[in-house]
């Protein structure tokens, strides 16, 4: 079974344009004072792309931040003795009473988002948290849903949604891969990238 292209570069750009307009339509009273926080790895460039688009729509670019969830994962003991921990970088010392737009590439089981929420709470009590994802592939294991979704992609549990972005991978493309053949590569990606992982 060959990889199937879910979205090419043009489709990704159009989808992000639509997502930015949907954010404005639904959350105009929140975004002026909001912080868009990207979950490492690919949530980070997505949050920057969205805020760039929002700047063109509302005339002001929202603040952005970077969240590393490694130490908050519920499978931390299973990913090796020395997990790669990177910096969380937020524009303010506290998220207390701020609206947070949490951005990630793929929503799968919901466990990444659960870890991200735990990580955020260490920086205060946000006024609200909105979840923004490029791809929702279902198979939730926790009661978590996204507020803004780029595209819903029906998948089998063993399949892999492989998101590539220029900032991290050199090009924009999203593929649907058969799971068995790529299991080894996917396991490595799950340990390092935290998006498709869990």
Query: For residue range 126-177, what is the model confidence (pLDDT) as tens digits?
Result: 999 999 999 999 999 999 999 999 999 999 999 999 999 999 999 999 999 9
Question: What is the C-alpha to C-alpha distance for residues 122 and 198, in angstroms, rounded to an integer?
Answer: 21
pLDDT tens for 14-63 read: 999 999 999 999 999 999 889 999 999 999 999 999 999 999 999 999 99
Helices 43-58 and 9-31, axial angle in degrees (round to 10): 60
pLDDT of 192 reads 38
Q: Please, what sign has the CA dihedral across residues 19, 128, 116, 107?
A: negative
Longest dimension (CA), the chain: 49
Enter the pTM of the model.
Answer: 0.88
What does CATH list as the number for 10-156?
3.40.50.2020
């Amino acid at each position: 079974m060959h990889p199937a292209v879910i979205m090419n570069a043009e489709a990704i750009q159009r989808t992000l344009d639509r997502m930015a307009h949907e954010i404005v339509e639904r959350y105009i009273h929140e975004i002026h004072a909001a912080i868009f926080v990207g979950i490492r790895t690919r949530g980070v460039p997505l949050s920057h792309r969205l805020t760039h688009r929002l700047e063109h729509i509302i005339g002001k670019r929202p603040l952005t931040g970077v969240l590393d969830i490694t130490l908050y994962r519920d499978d931390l003991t299973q990913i090796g003795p020395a997990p790669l921990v990177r910096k969380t970088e937020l524009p303010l010392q506290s998220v207390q009473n701020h609206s947070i737009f949490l951005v990630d590439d793929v929503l799968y089981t919901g466990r990444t988002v659960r870890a991200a929420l735990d990580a955020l709470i260490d920086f205060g009590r946000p006024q609200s948290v909105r979840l923004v994802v490029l791809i929702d592939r279902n198979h939730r294991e926790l009661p978590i849903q996204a507020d803004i979704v780029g595209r819903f992609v029906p998948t089998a549990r063993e399949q892999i949604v492989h998101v590539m972005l220029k900032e991290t991978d050199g090009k924009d493309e999203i593929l649907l891969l058969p799971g068995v053949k790529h299991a080894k590569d996917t396991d490595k990606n799950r340990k390092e990238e935290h998006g498709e992982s869990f």
